[in-house]
Chain A
């Protein structure tokens, strides 16, 4: 399992920042002699600093205290293992593989706020799918932002992936054409890009519902997956984004991007607690191969290394 080890290494390096905050503080802490109040306070600070949010942090610490009592944990290193285990338990429900066998063409619709990394993630996702032996077609559904279409087309040319795009026109029309093209060409997976939008822009939320409806008309059962792309830099608003897009579209999964920076992506803890939409992929680098399926144990391990 060479790939697995290299992935683990990548995750660790990708989450290095998280670890630096959590681990840096924790490493020193766990070197201490006893499990006491200052230790719990530091743990709380570490979780908060990783964007886990106030409620999720409270929940995790309450469970950790309970476990420490039950299992009579007195050594700081054992407490660290216990926290890792609690994190894993919290995040485990988010683990879900992408099922590619359901339908052909399988239609994946991408949504998210401005600048979360939708188009870049689509590129990586297309590569990943090709690696799984699937043929891929992209629909340039972001007809709003300047040069968004050019961005996707440029990427498609560089990587030999066909892109359906229209000059002007609306997103629904583009994805409708793309769905017809995907069927005609016998494509395995169609990925539909959409323009970035904030959930407070109600007309744009209505527009993206239309994109979904039109996909359903073009291909019965489509879109099969509706993924929200979430920037790991996002704070507690990430949870609001998941709620709003889930209510508007019925999300089937999340993609967490930009974990190669200094952000920790702890907001997934808040999401796991309040709105457990599966986290299908995490983006851990600029490279095209740096999109990986989410593994709760690995993520938890990397958070509290």
Chain B
């Protein structure tokens, strides 16, 4: 699963987000060649709100905005982009940079057994992640041993044993009556004498302010000397992520972070907070309940997700490149002169859309907010686009110019000509009518702008 802005995510109810907001601002600062304090101020304010709504911690947001401003001021606005779009580019790049340049893998280069220690708050997903890591390492032909040092939560040890069985790896038996440090020492000895490659140590969830528990995990770290100490963070966590991460980072020499529950619809701003505070790479993302749902973390994708945007910049560029400008201007001229948008124009638009790679590739590039507005039931796939064009082809030029002429008997003829049921002709006419209304509202605008305003080209959009 792709945790960027896949279809699962886009269909969930997403709040008004950055891209939608910026789309409004972008209009106001069109046609300027450089980013200045004045023309990015509003946009930066929206970036701040978007980051806060994505649960990036306030101090981190402040640092981030300052960094973006620094980078953006004086930057040239290249090519067809507006200052707002150029700013989005800077924001996105900066966010991806702060998330970490590239994925960082586990480093298990040590005298075996390589020990991996898991740490985190209650309910962050440590045990499930331990199982997922075991499975991943097993697939890399490692001999893996799991052990649970959670003697507090009822049945935590049983849970890890069940997870180990599912993953197909061994588990070192522990019991709730034992001391975590004793369990850890014995498990390490066992792993050493039985030549295990990796020992994964699951621990109890703990509050960062619980002094006794924090001492316990520090002691575990001292005894185990793990080559990896992973901090497990819930992607839904809010502002407090920054405090928790700081305290864990102070008490334990963390080597990496695992971000869990990323298959939900949280924007995952905690990732940025934790990364900012600990400075440690986010190594994995948990994207489901099944044991194989653990992916290497991709900073780039996460940046898009936090901002609630798809690859809008490249979509804009692509639209610009492929849309036949001459054709677009002809239609724009027509509308400007007050002559209605007719079915012939509608067909042209459908064809332009196909040139841009069709529905599927458009959807992938759309930000979540826009994609979320598309009603999947109404969504026309590429085959449907061709059918629609076929229906229009079955009309006479007069009918295309004056769709109001099309009554029952003409509909029957068109349907027969195109080889579709009459309902399909009706649906097309209805869709066209809605589109016409929208065109009227946009009267005076030019076609290229309409193309960028994607609602103009997506008939399935509400």
Contact = CB atoms under 8 A, between A and B. Distances in A.
B234 to A, nearest CB: 7
B376 to A, nearest CB: 12
Interface stretch (A68-76, A92-100, A146-154, A176-184): A146-154
Interface string B150-174: 0001111011111100100000000
Given A145-B159, A146-B159, A262-B208, A151 B240 contact: no
B49 to A, nearest CB: 5
Nearest to B273: A235
Interface stretch (A29-37, A196-204, A295-303): A196-204
Nearest to A144: B289
Given A151-B155, A155-B154, A233-B237, A53 B53 contact: yes
A233 B240 contact: yes
Interface string A45-82: 10011110110000000000000000000000000000
Contacts of A45: 58
A261 interface: yes
B12 interface: yes
A17 interface: yes
A130 B429 CA distance: 65
Contacts of B158: 146-147, 150-151
B454 interface: no
A239 to B, nearest CB: 9
A30 B236 CA distance: 32
B125 interface: yes
B236 A113 contact: yes
Contacts of A150: 154-155, 158-159
Contacts of A53: 52-53
Given A198-B264, A233-B240, A261-B207, A54 B49 contact: yes
Contacts of B270: 235
B154 A158 contact: yes
B239 A48 contact: yes
A122 to B, nearest CB: 12
B393 interface: no
B296 interface: no
Contacts of B263: 198, 200-201
B299 interface: no
B238 A267 contact: yes
Nearest to B57: A49
Interface string A131-164: 0000000000000111110110111001000000
B166 A235 contact: no
A62 to B, nearest CB: 15
A286 to B, nearest CB: 9
B55 interface: yes
A263 B238 contact: yes
Interface in A1-54: 17, 45, 48-51, 53-54
Contacts of A223: none
B243 interface: yes
Interface in B235-253: 236-241, 243-244, 247
A101 interface: no
B397 interface: no
A155 B155 CA distance: 9
Given A48-B58, A114-B289, A198-B261, A234 B207 contact: no
Interface in A108-138: 113-117
Contacts of B128: 114
A226 B166 CA distance: 32
Given A54-B52, A158-B154, A235-B238, A116 B123 contact: yes
A290 interface: no
Contacts of B238: 51, 233-236, 238, 263, 267
B361 interface: no
A173 B164 CA distance: 27
A243 interface: yes
Nearest to B126: A115
A231 interface: yes
Given A155-B154, A233-B236, A262-B207, 13 more contacts: A48-B58, A113-B264, A116-B123, A148-B159, A151-B153, A200-B263, A200-B264, A200-B265, A201-B263, A235-B266, A236-B54, A261-B121, A262-B247
Interface of B: 8-9, 12-13, 15, 49, 52-55, 57-58, 121-125, 127-128, 131, 153-156, 158-163, 166, 207-209, 234, 236-241, 243-244, 247, 261, 263-267, 269-270, 289
28 contacts: A45-B58, A48-B58, A54-B52, A54-B53, A113-B261, A114-B261, A115-B122, A115-B234, A146-B131, A147-B156, A147-B158, A148-B159, A150-B158, A151-B156, A198-B261, A198-B263, A201-B289, A231-B236, A233-B236, A233-B240, A233-B241, A233-B244, A234-B234, A235-B239, A235-B241, A236-B54, A237-B55, A240-B266
The 5 closest A-B pairs by CB, nearest first: A235-B238, A115-B123, A235-B55, A146-B162, A147-B159
